[in-house]
Amino acid sequence: MANLRWIRNLAIFLILSNFLVFALLLDLSALHGYAQLAERVRIYETMRANILEKESNNQLGGRVLLNAKERVVNELIMLEKQHELELGLKNISHFQVAQHFFRSFEKIGNTTLFQNLKTMPKGGVLHAHDMALCSSEYLLSLTYREHLWICVAKSETQEYKMLRFSLLQPQHEESCEWSLLSELRQSVLSDAVDKKLLAQLTMYPLEHFPNEDTVWKRFRSIFRLVVGLLTYAPVWSDYIYKALEEFYADGVQYLEIRSVLPILYDLSGGNYTLLNTTRVMRDADLRFRASYPDWIGSRLIYAPTRKVSDARFVEYLGNALLLKSHFPDYFAGFDLVGWEDEGRPLHDYARELLALQDEIHFYFHAGETNWYGTNTDENLLDAVLLGTKRIGHGLALLKHPEVLQLARLRNVAIEINPISNQVLQYIGDLRTHPASVLFAVNYPVVIASDDPSFWKATPLTHDFYMAFMVIASRKADLGLLKQLASNSITYGAFSGNEREAAFEKWHKRWNQWIDNINTKL
């Protein structure tokens, strides 16, 4: 019995010993597993931090070094930005920038961030059209001048179709009837006339249109309404000067105006040409420079419509050469404007444009479309091959990686117009704007306003605000804003010496702005 008990105890001992050994091995294995997992987590977190840091450094403005004073301002700017973004992250309905501009611009204008951006020296606007520069309130004030006639539609809507200064009633129009505006204001309540005029001078408040045809029909109706008002010779001079004042007040120091160069008129039937139109613009700029020494200047990009015959296009190029010879310091280059989907593609005019490639600088609108694989988006390729210095809009650029690579190789900047893209229904929520990718890869872009008057926007601040808040990364800071302002001078139509002087004027105002904010803190 004793032997059996001894054998049983030995068996139990062996079993327990093996169990302890097994348990010990499990513990060692677990410790090894924990150590291995910890190493994996460390590598993962390190790689994640490195990638995010690399992306941050490589994005637009990511390598801009801020001095001590700028870093203080940056903290303020970023607190304001993060505050607005946090509201959106908690409840998207409270995030103004994700909404249509017409629903958000008044609230945006009341934010501290917007007020700081408004006074910020933003460099230049390199993409703005002649008939849509000044505020609609200023345009309304012009309608109180003498001898202004208005053509009212014969339809039930009684829309205002055209405006024209004249001593006598203008020629008969089939679709509308002419009346002196002063008499219309007497027969109808003046406030009602002004309210209706203001409604027709902008796209506001119409957020949605059935298709591109209707949105562009509405857009072009504004041009038709204002052209007779603005091309009256005494008004054109005042209008251009007022435009410079409004842009300057919005933190802009340089402006490139795309103009169709409409032929001016007066009450006595004066004989005007596009040279007269240009001279008035140039003289307004010279007067403005004399009054505002830190104003860098303005320049003309001659930009007639893109939907014309070959013969008419050759005439356009002749005009461009004429302008260059008469105004070498004011004429910047050539473009074609109008609804790109409807107009003729650049490829149609390639031969004529190549012949003048060394004589005239090109600044082509291209890729302002939602189509893919059409003549419209392929305008991007033709623009780059034809030697364009910049591309206007370029919304379809990401759909053409070879063109994007070639454009970057040739250092072709893209003119981004956020609010225009939304109002004309190319983009809905601006968080989805394709320019976000360009920002992420540090592609050379500039922010412009296109036709700010037509969407009740400021000359540039609203577009800067939109770009900073949602097109750029949430983490993009003052370095981005400084880079965007700097880009507008880097890619402006300057010679070497002019660019250096322009940078000097901008840097001076930038430093003053930084000092002013620091003083208030």
Tokens matching residue 30: 């677990």
Contact 60, 435 (CB under 8 A): no
Q: Can you give the three-state secondary structure of 444-460, one letter per residue?
A: CEEECCECHHHHCCCCC
Q: Is residue 368 among the annotated active site residues?
A: yes
**Residue 134 CB neighbours (<10 A):** 25
Please identify which of the residues 70, 84, 256, 368 carries the catalytic annotation.
368
Q: Rounded to the nearest 5 degrees, what angle is found at the Cα of 70, between the Cα atoms of 64 and 72?
A: 130
Q: Extract long-range pairs of 136-142: CB within 8 Å, 24+ residues apart.
A: 136/198, 136/201, 136/202, 136/453, 136/456, 137/198, 138/242, 138/246, 139/201, 139/226, 139/229, 139/230, 139/453, 140/194, 140/197, 140/198, 140/201, 142/229, 142/230, 142/235, 142/238, 142/239
The widest CA-to-CA distance across the chain, in whole angstroms, is 140
CA–CA dist 258, 253 (Å, integer): 17
Residues ≥6 apart with Cβ < 8 Å to 265: 165, 231, 232, 233, 272
Q: Is residue 498 among the annotated active site residues?
A: no
CA-to-CA dists, residue 339 to 304, 313, 507, angstroms? 12, 17, 37
Residues ≥6 apart with Cβ < 8 Å to 263: 231, 272, 273, 274, 277
Please identify which of the residues 393, 400, 433, 462 carries the catalytic annotation.
393
- Please name every residue paired with 259 in a beta bridge, in sequence order, or none if there are none: 302
Strand order in the sheet with 363-366: 363-366, 390-393, 413-416, 445-447
Q: Which residues of 259-273 are buried (b: 16+ CB within 10 A; e: fewer)?
A: bbbbebbeeeeeebe
Contact 488, 446 (CB under 8 A): yes
> Quick one: which of 50, 521, 423, 501 has its CA closest to 253?
501
**Active-site residue numbers?**
368, 393
